[in-house]
Structure 1
């Protein structure tokens, strides 16, 4: 073989795998909608990723990457009480690298900057739906989204949010008995700090554009009974932290599992605490309550399997023709 041909062959063996690897990256941008909702957006990209700090977390994304053409599924992400759009950055980037467009909103009045409306939880599903509408119509890359393949991911209060957006109808009067017996639990101390009248009835909030949901450590699961979740007929992947001391599973994740009309894809996580569904922090010592796991629980290793399972679920349930 001539020397020049041998060199060309060697270069191809090096360049082609590198190009394939670069094509499986995530682009990222932050936008604010006309309604004032902050949205982090991840999407499939090619190029060389850059390591960035994002709040408590880090990410490897391609800055300034173009949104790819095509018709891609959309996943919207709803964070927990007092969080923001960045809390599930590793899950978002994993989905983007798998071909999804991802939009994570920061809930107005229920984030780390302003938590003054945290108990006005009925505003959350509407904000999630508004984010979907923004992505489908106002986001500059909207032509790349398949409006028939939309999923939602929610953690904690975000888990409640996506269940309500999927058709769940909670009975908020159940708080009275729950908090009378357990006044020191998180949801009851939050309600005491931000008191409000909790009436029966729940306004229609189902968003038929959502075709599948992933729910991690959902909040106030006890407000749902079988009638309240009877309309949730789309596929559900439900995650439980077995050592959840913020939202004990028996009143939250397990209550949701028992009330769903169709059996969810149930994923219990041995040894996990409530906040282990958040992305691994850049510096776990900076915010120990959120960032540090119990001794013996490896959050980084867990998230490798967690993200893989979330990607698999949405890939199966939002495939064309599913």
Structure 2
């Protein structure tokens, strides 16, 4: 009974935070062309002087200025890559916190690996190419492109998105390591995904996935971290903020974030979150999502996701301010 009460309090705190997110973000939805497949849906948050209002956006209600004008010049851009089976809404609170702080944020729904279509979920090397397409779109096609400083671009990635970010900044994965790891740890999420799909992961020709425009990366609970050990990240030259959930059972310690930490040539800004689980890096859930996806929305006993996200978002904003420059 005590455990259930703690979980209920945690859920109430999560729902409370979902209703009190950022108050100064403009928002648009667009589609970017994708030479490798289906067009890419993008959620775009940015500073705007327009008044915000409650706006339904797919499964969430966001307090944003829909299609409001962009405020500011030479703004830094942060692109967001969600986890497997997610969407551009997966980190909406972090996106709004960044927009409040003067960043333009472009969060993609990865084609072939999202909540509605997981037909290419094991083709994980599609993802870095899609991130580059999103950056192309934001710099060349978005109607607010003149407000972006192309020299100040960062990436935020969670889970499979964390892997994506590492590849985009110079990581070279060695997928031959997956067979041995999955024989020893078949319950790992990536191993279950591979076993279900019966498709191998394939490394494309070298140098096709690195995007030199990206100058800083925040990586949370990276999937497939072990494929970068011991020297697959030796070419990474940009600053990295790395996050690990202490009680993560999907990408458990030490094969994932710790493997990344050890492989990075420069020590990252490293954070271990006590009592957190894998999904605690995702945006707090609204009531409908909490009922629909309790596995994603429910906290472990003793963990306050609402309070954590206040600290988490502040740390992410601070990192990008330091590495990309604040306006």
Q: TM-score, normalised by structure 2?
A: 0.88
CA separation of 1:63 and 1:254: change in aligned 2, threshold 3 A: same
CA contact (8 A) 1:224 1:256 kept: yes
Matching of residues 1-322 of structure 1 within 5 Å: 25-35=24-34, 36-198=39-201, 203-204=206-207, 205-283=209-287, 284-319=290-325
Which structure 2 segments of 5+ residues have no match?
A: 1-21
User: Does the residue aligned with 1:110 lie in a helix, a strand or coil?
Assistant: coil
| Backbone CA RMSD of aligned residues | 1.7
Q: Distance in 2 between matches of 1:181 and 1:119?
A: 20
> Retained in 2: the 8 A contact 1:171–1:201?
no
Q: Give deviations 1:58-90, integer Å, cap 9, x for gaps.
A: 421112310124110000000000000000000
**Counterpart-to-counterpart distance in 2, 1:132 and 1:257:** 26
Residue 224 (structure 1) shift:
0.5
Checking the alignment, whether the CA contact within 8 Å between 1:74 and 1:102 is kept in structure 2 is yes
Query: What is the distance in 2 between the residues matched to 1:200 and 1:165?
Result: 13
- Give, in whole Å, the separation in 2 of the partners of 1:213 and 1:178: 26
How many Å apart are 1:296 and its aligned residue?
1.6
TM-score scaled by structure 1?
Answer: 0.89
Following superposition, the deviation at residue 149 of structure 1 comes to 0.2
How far, CA to CA, are the matches of 1:58 and 1:305 in structure 2? 22
Q: Secondary structure of the equivalent of 1:301? A: helix
> Cα offset for 1:97?
0.5
Bigger Rg, which one: 1
**Alignment partners' CA distance in 1, 2:58 and 2:89:** 7
Local SS of the residue matching 2:89: helix
Q: Contact 2:76/2:103 (CA < 8 Å) preserved in 1? A: yes
- Give the count of matched residue pairs: 299
- Following superposition, the deviation at residue 218 of structure 1 comes to 0.4
Structure with the bigger RCO (C-alpha within 8 Å, sep 6+) is 2
